[in-house]
Chain A
Amino acid sequence: MTDVLFVAEHRRGDLRDVSYEGISAGRGLADALGGELHVAVISGEVEAFAESLNTPEVDTIHTVDAGEEFDHDTYAAATEALHAALDPTALLLPNSVNGLDYAPAVADSLGLPYATDAVDMAYDDGLTVTREMYGSKVETTVDVAGDQYVVSIRGGEWPAADGAGDAEITSFDFDESSVDDGARVQGFEEVGGGDVDISEAEFLVSIGRGIEEEENLDLIRDLCDATGATLSSSRPIVDNGWLPKNRQVGQSGKQVTPKVYLAIGISGAVQHVAGMKGAETIIAINTDPNAPIFDIADYGIVGDLFDVVPALIEEFN
């Protein structure tokens, strides 16, 4: 019992990035434990997925041919059955939206300690997980008691595994008749189309909760007019109904890769950063010198946007 089991994730025919990152995370932990890395892929075109996941880090891939798309009851039942069969020390699952929808149930059913949203892991006689608190303002280490545990891992924190491996690929059957049917997926819908595609913009001026009031958005619109920038925002602005959903940058909004991303009054929460860290140049204006956005910024002004933005508009008028 020194093995690691990681469950990959896919959606609408594509494996998601976290599937390859989880392989790296799993390999690291398996090496520390002196065990093997098992990867499971559940539902959809499992054979094709297995081929793609067959990277040098993986020892065994388990395909579970059941249904097309993610269904939390199937995932939970299949993962629990795999766990019973393999008895791994660590079960790793993505801390994605679908991870949030089944990992807690699996950990609870297995009666195992559960550490969520890991950004790092270390093993030395016991598992230590690094995670963040208070909107990424502090980092913590957490010791996990017990011989077995479940950890959900944050996307984007481990390198993606690639290259061709020679893992054993084996199909895993479990009793599908045991799967609950109390939550039934009816379909998917793309949201957030509309007037502009912020993912096409070269220069994004993005505003966050620091703007305080809807009326104050005019100031940012003036800046966009003066500079020719496209306006985008963090989630709270969209939640408040101040801007349409197609302007939201982040995990549940749009992924953008502009030449310049100017983040104004945005703290830099992980779900926001997920959408904009690929920008060529990141600039932040924020009153809080400890705001996590400064960790990824290339240029910054620690200051009040209500002073800096008018001065910036002046520069271009």
Chain B
Amino acid sequence: MKILVTVKEVAAVEDDFEIDGLSIDERYLEYDLNEWDDYAVEAAVQIAENADEEVEVVAATIGPERSEETIRMALAKGADRAVRVWDDAIAEQTLFDVDAKVSVFEQVVADEEPDLVLTGVQAADDAFGATGVALANRVGYQWAAVVNDLDYAAGDETATVRRELEGGVEEITEVDLPAVLSIQTGINEPRYASLRGIRQAQQKEIAPHDLSDLGLDAAAVDGALELTEMYEPESESDATIFEGGAEETAAELADVLREKGVVGE
């Protein structure tokens, strides 16, 4: 069987940063594998490792050449190969919306014909939280979103999942395959890439594709959402900030705690 994992290199913003028009200057960004995707990769690799049959794990990403560095992390952790899609038409989008992403992944699914697709619940940067379920709908797969427990062995025709609802309630659901599951953090313990894994990853294939390779044209990724402003949120806070060294600020904080009467004598 084959498992496709969608992975994304996401940017995190440093403590101090400046916004330049509609983006944050590169100087203030740090790139990493999306936290939720890390758990999705681990879930896929665990299924492959525990399988009696051959399971291929393919990582698929939409990202510029730079992102290969991050995608190699997924390969170092056990994915067999990767597909990377990029195109000038994608680079031009101010905001690469859900529909555009799904149009790309739809073609990847058509090429790869996976039995199971794992995605992260959301990407830490744009936080749409919609790609997995929209993709499932587009390709006619079953789905489940926000999965924090997965009971599935390679070859099974159904997966039993727990969906983590609000307030500490979990829903238990049986999903037929083929399916797309969006994976929540905490479902497993993502491994660190071993040195051996990192070395092996260098030999693994990251196949670059542009839109025409996938039979798409630029219009397919011309999203309906346009970013028009980016700014630091206006703080409504009137927080009292204690200034000074650790002793000084701790003393002021201790006074507040005493005043509120929450610290026992």
Task: Name the interface size band of chain A.
Answer: 35 or more
A299 and B229 in contact, given A105-B136, A113-B224, A308-B249 (Cβ under 8 angstroms): no
A163 close to chain B: CB less than 8 A: no
B161 to chain A, nearest CB (A): 9
Chain A residues in 8 Å Cβ range of B236: 295
A272 close to chain B: CB less than 8 A: no
Q: Indicate if the CB atoms of B241 and A295 lie closer than 8 Å.
A: no
Q: Indicate if the CB atoms of B137 and A114 lie closer than 8 Å.
A: no
Partner of A300, one of B15, B240, B260: B240
From 1 to 29 in chain B, residues with beta carbon under 8 angstroms from any chain A beta carbon are 11-13, 15-17, 19, 24
A101 to chain B, nearest CB (A): 4
Q: Indicate if the CB atoms of A145 and B242 lie closer than 8 Å.
A: no
Complex-state Cα separation, A55 to B31, whole angstroms:
47
A301 close to chain B: CB less than 8 A: yes
Partner of B176, one of A109, A182, A255, A315: A182
Q: Indicate if the CB atoms of B242 and A189 lie closer than 8 Å.
A: no
From 121 to 144 in chain A, residues with beta carbon under 8 angstroms from any chain B beta carbon are 128, 131-144
B37 close to chain A: CB less than 8 A: no
Q: Indicate if the CB atoms of B170 and A188 lie closer than 8 Å.
A: yes
Q: Indicate if the CB atoms of A138 and B246 lie closer than 8 Å.
A: no
Please report whether the interface of chain A is mostly helix, strand, loop or mixed according to DSSP.
mixed
Q: Indicate if the CB atoms of A105 and B168 lie closer than 8 Å.
A: no
Partner of A117, one of B127, B186, B264: B127
Chain A residues in 8 Å Cβ range of B12: 134-135
Q: With a 10 A CB-CB cut-off, give which of B124, B131, B142, B144 has the most chain A CB atoms.
A: B142
Chain A positions 273 through 317: 1 when the CB is less than 8 Å from some CB of chain B, otherwise 0: 010000011011101111010111111111110011011101110
A100 and B168 in contact, given A297-B237, A301-B241 (Cβ under 8 angstroms): no
B115 to chain A, nearest CB (A): 14
A96 and B166 in contact, given A142-B225, A290-B232 (Cβ under 8 angstroms): yes
Chain A residues in 8 Å Cβ range of B249: 301, 303, 308, 311
A191 close to chain B: CB less than 8 A: yes
Chain A residues in 8 Å Cβ range of B261: 259
B251 close to chain A: CB less than 8 A: yes
Identify the stretch in B73-81, B91-99, B197-205, B207-215 within 8 Å (CB) of chain A at 4 or more residues. Answer: B91-99
A100 and B182 in contact, given A108-B102, A245-B168 (Cβ under 8 angstroms): yes
A137 and B246 in contact, given A142-B228, A202-B262, A283-B256 (Cβ under 8 angstroms): no
A241 and B170 in contact, given A114-B130, A142-B226, A202-B262 (Cβ under 8 angstroms): no
Partner of B16, one of A188, A290, A315: A290
Chain A residues in 8 Å Cβ range of B15: 287-290
Q: Indicate if the CB atoms of A307 and B133 lie closer than 8 Å.
A: no
A303 and B246 in contact, given A108-B99, A138-B231, A183-B142 (Cβ under 8 angstroms): yes
Partner of A253, one of B131, B168, B182, B257: B168
**Sample (26) of A-B pairs whose CB atoms are under 8 Å apart:** A76-B137, A97-B166, A98-B165, A100-B130, A101-B146, A104-B98, A116-B98, A117-B127, A117-B128, A142-B95, A142-B226, A149-B224, A184-B175, A185-B171, A186-B172, A191-B170, A227-B263, A228-B263, A241-B189, A252-B164, A288-B15, A294-B235, A294-B239, A307-B245, A308-B246, A312-B253
Interface residues, chain B, with chain A CB atoms under 8 Å away: 11-13, 15-17, 19, 24, 95, 97-99, 102, 121, 124-134, 136-138, 142-146, 160, 162-176, 179, 182, 184-186, 189, 223-233, 235-237, 239-242, 245-247, 249-251, 253-254, 256-257, 260-264
